[in-house]
Structure 1
Amino acid sequence: MSDAPHVVCARCGGVNRVPASRSAAEARCGRCHEPLFDGQPAELDTAGLERQITRSHLPVLVDFWAPWCGPCKVMAPAYAQAARELEPRIRLVKLDTQAHPEPAARYGIRGIPTMILFRNGRETARTSGAMDARSIVAWVRGAVRD
């Protein structure tokens, strides 16, 4: 990875280089000028998910969920809290499997909520079931160290 890793904007999909000398937490997208990180998981569609996974140099944590899923609704505030703790070192995103079933099928999602951690375009860790924020953060930090 170069001195300026690529960070994909969750709003417009623009690929940005953020030099290590600059705070990623304060960086703005060169295309849409919105903050690259806002402490909230980004809701993505299929194309946005693929762009995050394949173009970002950051690890990307994906929460596969659905609006009818009770455990998913329970975990949503914890996932948002985890985003505030893990960003800007980890990108946290959400994909509604009901609205976007193709990625769920491609990644073999059998139950929700399921979280998958991607690094350099590949799946590196997976867990299923609702978790609290502390458990999400601990799981991600453990998986990133591996």
Structure 2
Amino acid sequence: MSTVEATKVTCPHCGRTNRVPAAAEGRPTCGNCKQPLPWIADAGDDDFTEVVEQATVPVVVDLWATWCGPCRMVSPALEKVATELAGTIKLAKVDIDKNPRLARRFEVQAVPTLLVLDKGQTLARQSGAAPAAALRRWVEQSITAREG
């Protein structure tokens, strides 16, 4: 049984509220209309393996900090990408100030630092904020490179 929290997500297709666990098998779908749901979770030093590395879809990891202006700008753009690519990716947010082991592990020099991981392997990495369209292209190219 997971110790990780579930979040409430509103289905972009029918508007129904669903509980989506941070870690689970498969991909979350709406209990009402069965469409894929955006999968957005917080992850930290203690649950990163469960939430990110054991995920059944590629995970976009947002390494951010509360004091970082660009982080606050990129967060809604990443959530938009996670909604647009529901069923394809998971978005995991890591506050580096609360999770120093992960900040060290990924050698974070600047925030936001964004990673695309697949089963714990880094497919892509970039630092800095970008608009949603550019982030989506980066994520899709990273995932496509994995499949190619």
TM-score by length of 2: 0.74
Q: How far is 1:121 from its partner? A: 1.7
Percent identity over the alignment? 28
Paired with 2:38 and 2:24, the residues of 1 have a C-alpha distance of 19
Deviation per residue, 1:43-97 (Å, 9 max, x gap) = 2222222213321221111000000001101111111111111222111110000
Partner of 2:78: 79
Q: Which runs of 4+ in 1 moved over 4 A?
A: none
After TM superposition, the structure 1 = structure 2 runs for residues 86-97 of structure 1, keeping only pairs within 5 Å, are 86-97=85-96
Deviation per residue, 1:9-58 (Å, 9 max, x gap) = 76355542x3xxxxx44267xxxxxxxx7536312222222213321221
- Paired positions, count: 125
Unaligned runs of 5+ in 1: 1-8, 19-23, 29-36
Q: Secondary structure at the match of 1:88?
A: coil
Partner of 1:26: 29
After TM superposition, the structure 1 = structure 2 runs for residues 1-146 of structure 1, keeping only pairs within 5 Å, are 11=6, 14-16=23-25, 18=26, 24-26=27-29, 38-39=37-38, 41-146=40-145
C-alpha root-mean-square deviation of aligned residues, in Å?
A: 2.3
Paired with 1:65 and 1:41, the residues of 2 have a C-alpha distance of 15
Paired with 1:137 and 1:13, the residues of 2 have a C-alpha distance of 21
Q: 1:131 to 1:69 in 2, by over 3 A?
A: same
Contact 2:59 2:90 in 1 (8 A): yes
